[in-house]
Structure 1
């Protein structure tokens, strides 16, 4: 099976990928691999079913090259159409070398529509979003955003930005957890937000507002979520050992073993609690980073928060928080102390104007942790 490497530097026209991607999905061309570093070697693909090779975000480790099959991408696109109860025209706001961006192209190809593109060469801005959204012509309109992007759009929004946001039949929001403040703000502006959960290994979002897409099943084994169904990737290119570890057959079907904690209810709905490694052991006591984050997020004036463990000579690990918004550290420490106890109070609190981001729009956890360790 051949592979078509596509280098996507700044200024790359994402729509140039439509034709080779369409050929790959039809089995009439090589699989596409967006954002290949010049000189990078991928090796050979294992079968003819692979349509695209997408890098994981690398937010907590080395990015992995995930092989997405034709049938999996088709199942994801059709599942999205069923979940949204429509097909339509999409606005692309994310890089195509990440799964959320690629899926905008895939869904557009299956819907027979041409996406519009927000020019983010100079970074994501409300102006770039407005210009891209204004190019949409279809009656039914969708877009996919990460929480940081939506936060920027709703910070002192212009009437034009709000008008364009309200014009979307659905705004998929994924890549990171959206806090209660952002959800409430979106509701106050009458935006149709659909919160998604998924990853490169599941062709992007496979759970919409807590409900799995058609054919997708999630369950929890000792608190760890695993995902089964037709949207699963073929594995990791050039890493058969990791593929075997993360994709396995059990209980009569193939599953992807996630790094997330969560649970599924008898009605099939899913609750995701956060990453399993979000538990911080500080002074021999366990602290849930997600729980600390929830307490801080509920404080008036906090827009977004990220809670991480940082190295500490005294405690082994210490709780630390990076915060966007207008709130003083004393208020944060008091709120956490009252709700969770002294051991959960952040030892380091850093106020930022914006989170450092990975190219796909997710907060860069490694960079944020380094900033907290210097705070």
Structure 2
């Protein structure tokens, strides 16, 4: 394992600024809002701030406060942050992001969680500093196997997993592949597949179930393209930072439902990471490689699982129990799909409460790891 520090050459930032200045803006219809995609004013305003107001160097320094490392697993470079808790007996906790997020989403929860957990925060292969990938096959199961290997290399014999979005698929898969070592799974932004049996569901659950259909009908275009033609998409995103911004902004703004739910700097930090690492295409491939992971497993996982539901999520407990051994279910009125950014305190508290409620052996005999990753 090697220590890693984010150190982007100034020439790359200069090139980014020049490309932003040369943006050729498309035409746009008046009065249609978000119904045709991201409105021109929303992208233009954020692009102008990216050029003249946003400081990558400030966020680079912020992220470098997290100790980071790289290692090679299954032929792929894997980047990860590793924070050891002051508590030597702390439970190791593996945090996995989704798309269009990066490991940077967890920066705000890292400090409070590291008081009680040893944190391992990797970049999914194909994303950010773990990318790009150079071969096919990096779907959910292969990523999960890499995560189990990473935790083993770090010396962690018992650990928990947590994830949202694609992380909510990868995290329980780690438990299925490594059941003797994973003590619990915590999920947010979990999409539960709807079936015809809605008898007995609450009004809120029915509404959340309808959200899956609304997503398929109105907002799933990005997933269809990334799941079928990611290479075709990659040419435009690799050549135009404004194109990359618009593509990611459509998801970050919850397709027009919550444009104010994330700060400009949070959005741009992730977009900038994608741009600087040229991983728009390789990260999109996860949708093609991981398509089968959306199907429910033959039987529910056995590892105790907690699900945190934030506004906008489509999680329904009855449907979640088809795939998971759900022992804790929390619903919140604040935050959203990107809970680590939108409601970091609520998310951290729910994670802590779940794992603290597990057996003393899970919390107190969690690690044989050494004090550093190096």
TM-score between the two structures when normalised by the length of structure 2: 0.26
Larger % of helix: which?
2
Q: Bigger relative contact order, structure 1 or 2, given CA contacts below 8 A and separation 6+? A: 2
TM-score, normalization: structure 1?
0.26
